[in-house]
Amino acid sequence: MRLSELLRNYQDRDSKIILAHLLGVKPSQLYLLEDRELSDSEFKRFMDMIEERGRGTPTAYLIGEWECMGRSFELRRGILVPRPETEILIEVLLGILPHSKALRGYEIGLGSGCISINLLLERKKLEMWGSDINPLALELSVKNAKRYRVDERLHVLSGRDFEPVKGQKFDFVVSNPPYIPEIMWDNLPKEVKAEGKEALIGGEKGYEFYERVSRELREHLSDEGVVAFEIGHDQGEVVKSLLEKEGFEVNIYRDYNGQDRVIVGWKY
Ligand SMILES: C[S@@+](CC[C@H](N)C(=O)[O-])C[C@H]1O[C@@H](n2cnc3c(N)ncnc32)[C@H](O)[C@@H]1O
């Protein structure tokens, strides 16, 4: 079958991403191949993947990678698929971190490593420590860091919250933690559930991570240190008051839908 014919029937974004992956090009380059005939095996692989997606497997797991800030990160089932909202967290932090200073940062919950690796690529004097409770996330973070040649500046550690960096201080702490309340799990779409409960569910209230971690922040941040968290759209006020209680000056940033999405706290 000719590619142009197939594209007429599969016009959605994910079908194009799958096709581009199979043909080894970027989705934006598919139009260059419109006259190309697909072999029977290419056509079958495409149809198999479309079916698998229909059964609830996220496209990111089918193709084994996903983009964050225009860079591709290897992914596997059970690891959070990078979201556009997380790019806001990265951008906000980049707006704060100077190029000229040698900085130390700590990320809680690396997942694919997309936050730390993007920061390291944009700030050459930065050194990051990052942790996760999921061994697969640690493995993928190392792989992705090697792919972008920042592995010497990313120290990947196993453990929860601040446990792996006891006694250490950082210039900033960043996290996109699990923040969905437990009660919402049953109603999440199948493809979201495939990302795993420990990546998504924050506890009964959803904001338990921020409650725990905010209590330990001051001792792990240098003077004038910064914390940046992604938050749920309805968690701005609660996380703001948690950080203010610990002596932080706080700013909240909104996402493309005008909802609270990122919170930054300055230690003073
Ligand atoms: C929402 S995902 C974020 C992944 C990645 N940073 C991103 O933004 O795409 C949260 C990650 O934190 C890990 N995690 C959950 N609770 C944690 C904790 N208390 N300490 C360290 N990692 C944790 C999960 O395994 C998961 O990989």
> How confident is the model over 53-62, as pLDDT tens digits?
999 999 999 9
* pLDDT tops 90 at residue 1: no
Q: Is residue 45 part of a domain?
A: yes
Helix, strand, coil percentages for the chain (3-state, nearest 5): 45, 25, 30
Per-residue confidence band for 235, with pLDDT thresholds at 50, 70 and 90? very high
Decide whether any atom of ligand 1 lies within 6 Å of the 134 Cβ: yes
116-124: average pLDDT = 98
* pLDDT tops 90 at residue 34: no
**Confidence at residue 246, expressed as pLDDT on a 0 to 100 scale:** 97
Q: What is the mean pLDDT of the chain?
A: 96
Which DSSP helix (H) or strand (E) runs through 130?
A: strand 126-132
Same domain, 92 and 221: yes
Ligand 1 atom 13 nearest Cα: 109
Same domain, 48 and 88: no
30-48: average pLDDT = 92
Say what angle helices 135-147 and 114-122 make with each other, to 10 degrees.
30
pLDDT in tens, 68-87: 999 999 999 999 999 999 99
Mutate which of 108, 197, 212 for ligand 1? The one with the most ligand atoms within 8 Å of its CB, which is 108
Kindly give the number of the ligand 1 atom that is closest to the alpha carbon of 82: 9
Q: Is residue 257 part of a domain?
A: yes
**Confidence at residue 243, expressed as pLDDT on a 0 to 100 scale:** 98
86-110: average pLDDT = 98
Same domain, 126 and 243: yes
Same domain, 213 and 98: yes
**Confidence at residue 191, expressed as pLDDT on a 0 to 100 scale:** 94
* pLDDT tops 90 at residue 206: yes
Q: Is residue 72 part of a domain?
A: no
Same domain, 49 and 108: no
The DSSP call for residue 167 is T
CATH code of the domain in which 136 resides: 3.40.50.150
Q: Is residue 67 part of a domain?
A: no
The token duo for 75 is 């992914």
* Domain span holding position 46: 3-55
Using only the alpha carbons of the chain, give its radius of gyration: 20
**Confidence at residue 171, expressed as pLDDT on a 0 to 100 scale:** 98
Q: Is residue 69 part of a domain?
A: no
Q: Is residue 66 part of a domain?
A: no
Decide whether any atom of ligand 1 lies within 6 Å of the 174 Cβ: no
Same domain, 107 and 237: yes
Ligand 1 mean position, distance from CA 136 (Å): 11
Decide whether any atom of ligand 1 lies within 6 Å of the 105 Cβ: no
Same domain, 43 and 134: no
Q: Is residue 73 part of a domain?
A: no
Same domain, 115 and 219: yes
pTM here is: 0.96
The sign one gets for the Cα dihedral 141, 143, 148, 154 is positive
Nearest to 238 by CA among 200, 201, 204, 206: 206
Decide whether any atom of ligand 1 lies within 6 Å of the 82 Cβ: yes
Same domain, 87 and 42: no
Q: Given its phi and psi angles, is residue 128 left (phi above 0), alpha (psi -120 to 50 degrees) or beta?
A: beta
Q: Is residue 85 part of a domain?
A: yes
End position of a domain, from candidates 55, 70, 98:
55
Structural domains counted in the chain: 2
Same domain, 253 and 160: yes
d(CA 183, CA 175): 22
Same domain, 179 and 213: yes
**Confidence at residue 62, expressed as pLDDT on a 0 to 100 scale:** 97
226-245: average pLDDT = 98
d(CA 143, CA 72): 12
Same domain, 45 and 92: no
pLDDT in tens, 123-178: 999 999 999 999 999 999 999 999 999 999 999 999 999 999 999 999 999 999 99
